[in-house]
Structure 1
Amino acid sequence: MVDTNTLTLPENASLFTRLRIATKILKLVKGNEGNPVYGQTLNACLDYDVYESLIQKLQHSEDWRRMLSKHPSLEAKDLDLAALERLPEGTLGHAYARYYRDNKITPFETTLKLKNDIDFVAKRYRETHDVMHLVTGYGTDVMGEIELQAYVQGNLGIWTAALIVLFGTLGQLKGRQAGVDTSEYLRRIWAAYRRGRASPLFLDFWFENHWETPVATVRARLCAPAELMN
């Protein structure tokens, strides 16, 4: 059994320490990709500077400043999916609850404690993954997952997302893992990246306050039109 204390990212960790811990996690994560300790710590190791930059970019946002003080959560323990599914069809909450039921998965969970603002950014980024599938319209198949990662890289500059796109592209070149031909794959990835670049940052959006809002309305607010990127 791995001692998770050796995977703990110290506050104000040096680049060397972050790379050392990231290397350990990359050796362990295969076959255990859903592990909350591995996932969040890997994000923090590779994207520490990115998260710092995002905090600076969002500091003018009142919603973001409120987030840093309130720490809203989309973790499983903070969601009532049954209540959300009773909301009218077409609303974000109803679609979100159905997303989990239809895909036979459960919401994000973590055991990591938040020590600072960077920990919160890392957590918030990971727990918005599923709701961003709904908002962007990208599917949960291989192609849709890579499209969402390309969108996130364009929008937030997350290096973890860029690595996933890179490995996905290498897999596609070896055997069409995304189920489309390579020219279509590359076109869609580039379009998703450009769409992310053209869209406002989504990290300061309180999804929790918009469960009764139509998905289409949230999409129009957060995402550049996909058709303009083709």
Structure 2
Amino acid sequence: MSVVFLPRVLRISARALGTAGWAGHRGCSGWTSDGGPGHLYGGHIPTNPVQKALLAVGSGMAALQNPYRHDMVAVLGETTGHLALLRLRDRMKSSPEGHSILKERPRIRLSTLDLTEMSSLPDGSLGREYLRFLKENRVTPDSRADVKFVDDEELAYVMQRYREVHDLLHTLLGMPTNMLGEVAVKWFEAAQTGLPMCILGAAFGPLRLSARRLQLLTASLGPWALRNGRRSNCVLSIYYEHRWGQSLTSLREELCIEPPPLSLSTLRKTT
């Protein structure tokens, strides 16, 4: 089933995913709560509980059918994640660094990254390895969808921040962007955030793995990801923009994240 089978009013809302932008994107990195009458922030689409439920069902089915439908994964996360977002927000507020992030509302976008400076950082530093990850995988932080269906301005920012640090988690965890790497990151995120979207991805993602990759996940990567997701400090409470020069080893130790059990090259070659 696809999102096209949703009622017309919800199809209109779903199409808005590709057209409504963040009016709150002030300059390079700002955020504003002024979304106009009836809107909590720029790009916000008000929905009632029934609409949210239908969006959740339709987007969930579409995402299960095609995990690379990031727009549907985004809708699923926004329509099911309220309680988890509350807990994440509270964890951020309990940390001085996380509190600063909630107050200042930084954005991780190409327009906010000093690519020249990051490329001059030493190998092994967060900024250099993150930039290498973006280049090698031909991805950009600008591809992350803007939040639209979260009916709380502060929680909407928490969800946006989660999306924009996702590629940083790949870097921190040493995971590639193939299906095995994505599932391992989802297992970490499920344990770390409790977001239903992540739990769903962690539960159903393995069904798309080859026998060899499934063996690696269940025997090695999965237990490592769950263990570290549960015990590590809140990954949303790190002001990464102030940490580009810090070594990955040091940041992993600070967050209580063990080094990955398999090398990146091995994970990429596994079929």
TM-score bracket for this pair, using the shorter chain length: 0.7 to 0.9
Work out the CA distance in 2 between the residues paired with 1:95 and 1:32: 24
- Report if aligned partners of 2:130, 2:168 keep a CA contact under 8 Å in 1: yes
Q: Give the letter for the 2:103 counterpart.
A: S
Alignment map for 1:47-86 (pairs within 5 Å) = 47-86=81-120
- Matches of 1:111 and 1:197 in 2, distance apart? 27
Cα deviation for residue 75 of structure 1 reads 2.2
Tell me: CA distance 1:227–1:168, structure 2 relative to 1, closer, same or farther (3 Å). Answer: closer
The alpha-carbon deviation at position 210 of structure 1 amounts to 0.5
Distance across 2 between alignment mates of 1:124 and 1:31: 21
Match of 2:182 in 1: 145
Q: Which residue of 2 aligns with 1:95?
A: 129
Give the CA deviation at 1:163.
1.0
Residue 3, structure 1, aligned to residue 12, structure 2: yes
In the comparison of the two structures, how many residue pairs are matched? Answer: 219
Q: Which moved more, 1:46-55 or 1:102-111?
A: 102-111
SS in 2 for 1:58: helix
What is the Cα deviation at residue 226 of structure 1? Answer: 4.6
Deviation at 1:202, TM superposition (A): 0.9
**Which residue matches 1:213?**
246
Percent identity among equivalent residues? 23
Amino acid at match of 1:133: H
| Equivalent position amino acid for 1:213 in 2 | Q
Give the RMSD, CA atoms, in angstroms: 2.8
Please tell me the residue identity of whatever aligns with 1:82. Answer: T
Unpaired stretches in structure 2, ≥5 consecutive residues: 5-10, 18-43, 262-271
> For residues 31-71 of structure 1, what are the alpha-carbon distances to aligned partners after superposition, in whole Å with 9 as ceiling and x for unaligned?
86244xx4443211121111012222332222222222211
The aligned counterpart of 2:23 is: none
- Counterpart-to-counterpart distance in 2, 1:54 and 1:112: 16
Give TM-score, length-normalised by structure 1. Answer: 0.82
Map of 1:225 onto structure 2: 258
Contact 1:150/1:161 (<8 A) preserved = yes
1: distance between equivalents of 2:86 and 2:100? 17
One-letter code aligned to 2:181: G
Cα distance between partner residues in 2 of 1:169 and 1:51: 25
**Aligned-partner Cα distance in 1 for 2:169–2:45:** 27
TM-score (norm 2): 0.70
